[in-house]
Chains A and B, each alone.
Chain A
Amino acid sequence: MLRHALQRLILAIPVMFGVLLFGFLLMQVVPTDPATVRAGPTATPDIIAAIRADLGLDEPLYKQFGLYLWRLAQGDLGASIINNVPVSQELGGAIGPTLELMFASLFWSIPLGILLGTLAGYWRGSLIDRLIMAFSVAGVSVPVFFLGLVLIWFVGFKWQLLPFTGRGGPLWTWDGIQAIILPALTLGGVFVGPVARMTRTAVLDVLSADHVRTARAKGLTERVVVVRHALRNALVPVVTLIGLQIGFLLGGAVVTETVFSWPGIGRLAVSAILSTDFPMAQGTIIVLSVGFIVINLVVDVLYAALDPRIRSA
């Protein structure tokens, strides 16, 4: 178990290094010179030169990379070109809302997806199955922003039921809860379909297994057979597959945040790129990538913990 975790961790190191190298090179290819920007429009050439020396920009590239890693280790990601706010400070404020949104979306979409998938798998080939699967395909085909805009239009604007711009405050306040409902419905909405589909496949696999037949033969009620014997075993692959879909969820989060002006990392990344605020763009991309790698790692290890067969593979 521990060995498996370590193996995965070692495999993640080159990927992590690649991300950091990419982030560094990103700043090398962009057409703006950080020293000139920092010095401001009225600076004389020698002031710019002094800032260049101060930032280490006249050092050879490999030394700059070392310096960059050193600063990164201290949490220094540079400052925004637009308002000179430290990137780490902006990021620190944006991570919370993004995680909040993702959890709120998973909170309702995973149980619903598992329920629908189980129903579809159990009544395989029936009208219910066909309806649920049709709904699932439609769910993976709908653009996230379409779902968001429809909710804004009806629930937010026409019926005036819920707010649809920004975060209302912490989640333990009424305003906070109200404000997260529509974004969480949007992001979770595109996730129900894939979860239902994966659960259905897993349930179908398990329902034909010997231990389920044995459970039936013992005369257990159908409910116990499905919930205790079938679903419990079906959930192992579903958990991993959900983990593998985190990238998909992240993509949805970027769009959802933009549609609802939700102050998360995705929106920060998009606005930084659109306003050519390179240090901010670099910081958001690094944090998103590293976060994604870490989530994958955790899912991987979790899977091995849930299913002993994986460890040796």
Chain B
Amino acid sequence: MSATTDEPIAPARPGVLARLLREPAAAVSLLLVVLLIGAAVFAPVLAPTDPYDNDLSLAMQPPGSEGLPLGADAQGRNMVTRVLFGLRVSLLMGFAAVVLGGGLGALLGFLAAFYHRWLDGPIMRLMDMLLSFPAILVGLAIAAVFGPGIFSVVLALSVATVPLMARIVRGSAMVVMRLDYIEAARATGMTDARLIWRHLAPNCLSAIFVFATLRFGQVILLGSALSFLGLGAQPPVPELGAMASEGRNFLFFAPHITVVPCVVIFIIVLAFNVLGDALRDALDPRLRV
């Protein structure tokens, strides 16, 4: 988790993808992200079995056994299937949190920048307050109120994302607000909502996109930790953190049950972190150090 930057990020210029792909690590991480998302989307087609199908005679079969490249878990469920569906659940949770929390945060950021005179103070103070709670605490508190479950985790991750996105978008939007063309657009008599949507938002898109990519990795990591603690997805739902937690009891006899989901989480988060860093460099070379 890197420190959040408030620096505005310049609007995208053509050739971003080309600049991104020049860096081998970025190209590999982009490929990984595409593959992971593809695997999650097509899990029902790709999976050899049903994620809840168990065959106790296969329980704890090690990876490489016949028909079980990643082995079987303690209930004798095919780990390939579990991982594919686990990817689906984990990525979906992260996606929901980044879209919901990021969306609300971006909206608040735009409002704070656009109605700077009277909304900036209240909105940003509220965001500061929210920021003073680490995500894990938000997760614990929400799980205490609503009970453990996927809903609680998504809500907690969304709430923890709102203030971060609000700060990024506000910073970026404040820069755009000072530009002449906003004044020009305003002079044509556009409504505020249209002005924000058509002229302000598009120019903050790269900042939003970079932050969302980096945040996605963090959210996956946090979400899997909450599920690992038992506060998120509940067994037998295939979710990577919950799977790692289930496998913990068999660590000494069948380590693959916990190691496989852990490695998959690691790969997802690593891919998004590297891609996010590379995107930032590609979109704004000034920030490159």
Q: A residues bordering B, Cβ < 8 Å?
A: 14-15, 18, 22, 26, 29-30, 137-138, 140-146, 149-150, 152-153, 157, 194, 197-198, 200-201, 204, 241, 244-248, 250-251, 254-255, 258-259, 269-270, 272-274, 276, 278, 281-282, 284-285, 288-289, 292-293, 296
Contacts and interface: CB of A to CB of B under 8 A. Distances in A.
Given A137-B277, A194-B1, A146 B265 contact: yes
B135 interface: yes
15 contacts: A137-B277, A141-B266, A143-B221, A143-B224, A143-B225, A146-B244, A153-B252, A241-B3, A250-B137, A251-B225, A259-B248, A274-B231, A281-B144, A285-B144, A293-B132
B252 A285 contact: no
Closest 10 pairs between A and B when the two form their complex, measured CB to CB: A247-B134, A251-B136, A146-B262, A141-B270, A141-B269, A281-B144, A273-B144, A270-B229, A145-B228, A143-B265
Contacts of A293: 132
B273 A247 contact: no
Contact of B129 (A14, A29, A153): A14
Nearest to A137: B273
Interface in B59-102: none
Interface residues of B, number: 45
Interface in B227-277: 228-231, 241, 244-245, 248, 251-252, 255, 258-259, 262-263, 265-266, 269-270, 273-274, 277
Given A144-B225, A270-B229, A278 B134 contact: no
Contact of B229 (A142, A247, A255): A255
Nearest to B228: A145
Nearest to A146: B262
Contact of B230 (A14, A153, A244, A274): A274
A26 B255 contact: no
Nearest to B146: A29
A254 B217 CA distance: 19
Contacts of A197: 2
Contacts of A144: 225
B261 to A, nearest CB: 9
Contacts of B270: 137-138, 141
A251 B133 CA distance: 11
A142 B129 contact: no
Given A143-B221, A278-B144, A296 B273 contact: no
Contact of B141 (A146, A246, A285): A285
A32 to B, nearest CB: 12
Contacts of A26: 141, 144-145
Contacts of B266: 141-143, 146
B144 A282 contact: yes
B12 interface: no
A273 B289 contact: no
B111 interface: no
A194 to B, nearest CB: 6
A289 B258 contact: no
B244 A145 contact: yes
B228 A273 contact: no
Contacts of A145: 225, 228, 244-245, 248, 262
Contacts of B289: 200-201, 204
Contacts of B251: 149, 152-153, 157
A241 B244 CA distance: 31
Interface string B111-125: 000000000000000
B3 A198 contact: yes
B85 to A, nearest CB: 19
B222 interface: yes
Interface centre among B3, B224, B255, B277 (most CB of A within 10 A): B3
A247 B231 contact: no
Contact of A269 (B134, B135, B140, B221): B140
B51 interface: no
A244 B222 CA distance: 17
B144 A244 contact: no
- Looking at A26, A241, A272, A288, which has the most chain B CB atoms within 10 Å of its CB? A288
B112 to A, nearest CB: 18
A285 B136 contact: no
Contact of B3 (A153, A244, A274): A244
A273 B231 contact: yes
A203 B232 CA distance: 40
B201 interface: no
Contacts of A149: 244, 248, 251, 258-259, 262
Contact of B140 (A18, A137, A270): A270
Contacts of A250: 134, 136-137
Given A142-B269, A273-B231, A289-B133, 11 more contacts: A137-B273, A140-B1, A145-B225, A145-B248, A149-B258, A149-B259, A247-B133, A247-B137, A250-B137, A270-B231, A292-B134
Contacts of B36: none
Contacts of B263: 146
Given A29-B145, A145-B244, A254 B3 contact: no
A275 B277 CA distance: 41
Contact of A285 (B137, B221, B222, B269): B137
